[in-house]
Amino acid sequence: MGAAIGRACREHGFFYAVGHGVDETLQLRLEELSRRFFALPADRKGAIRMELGGRAWRGYFPVGAELTLGRPDRKEGLYFGSDLGPEHPRVAAGVPLHGPNLYPDLAGFRETVCAYQDALTMLGHRLLEGVALGLGMEADTFAERLTRDPTILFRIFHYPPLGAGAGEDDWSVGEHTDYGLLTILRQDESGGLEVKVGATWVDAPPLPGSFVCNLGDMLERLTGGVVRSTPHRVRNRAAHGRLSLAFFFDPDFDARVTPLDLGGEEAGGPTWDGVDPHAFRGTYGDYLLGKVSRVFPGLGREL
Question: To the nearest 10°, the Cα dihedral for 234, 237, 238, 241?
Answer: 40
Asked, for residue 287, whether it belongs to a domain, the answer is no
Asked, for residue 302, whether it belongs to a domain, the answer is no
**What's the confidence (pLDDT) of residue 275?**
66
Q: What is the mean pLDDT of residues 226-247?
A: 93
Containing domain of residue 240, as a range? Answer: 2-107+116-162+169-277
Which amino acid is it at 104?
Answer: P
**How much is the pTM?**
0.93
**What's the confidence (pLDDT) of residue 55?**
86
Q: What is the mean pLDDT of residues 232-240?
A: 92
For the chain, what is the domain count?
Answer: 1
pLDDT tens profile 83-127: 999 999 999 999 989 999 999 999 999 999 999 999 999 999 999
**What's the confidence (pLDDT) of residue 284?**
93
pLDDT tens profile 188-205: 999 999 999 888 999 999
pLDDT band at 5 (very low <50, low <70, confident <90, very high): confident
Check which CATH number belongs to the domain holding 103 and give it: 2.60.120.330
Interatomic CA distance for residues 176 and 231, integer angstroms: 5
Asked, for residue 283, whether it belongs to a domain, the answer is no
pLDDT band at 267 (very low <50, low <70, confident <90, very high): low
Asked, for residue 264, whether it belongs to a domain, the answer is yes
DSSP string, 255-277: -EE-----TTPPP-S--TT---T
Asked, for residue 289, whether it belongs to a domain, the answer is no
Between vectors from CA 103 to CA 191 and to CA 160, what angle results, nearest 5°? 30
SS3 252: coil
**What's the confidence (pLDDT) of residue 32?**
98
pLDDT of residue 285 exceeding 70, the answer is: yes
Interatomic CA distance for residues 244 and 232, integer angstroms: 14
**What's the confidence (pLDDT) of residue 185?**
98
Asked, for residue 290, whether it belongs to a domain, the answer is no
Interatomic CA distance for residues 224 and 217, integer angstroms: 10
Question: Nearest-CA neighbor of 223 among 280, 172, 175, 173?
Answer: 280
Asked, for residue 286, whether it belongs to a domain, the answer is no
Q: What is the mean pLDDT of residues 8-36?
A: 95
Asked, for residue 199, whether it belongs to a domain, the answer is yes
Higher pLDDT, 283 or 270: 283
Mean pLDDT of the chain: 90
Higher pLDDT, 8 or 119: 119
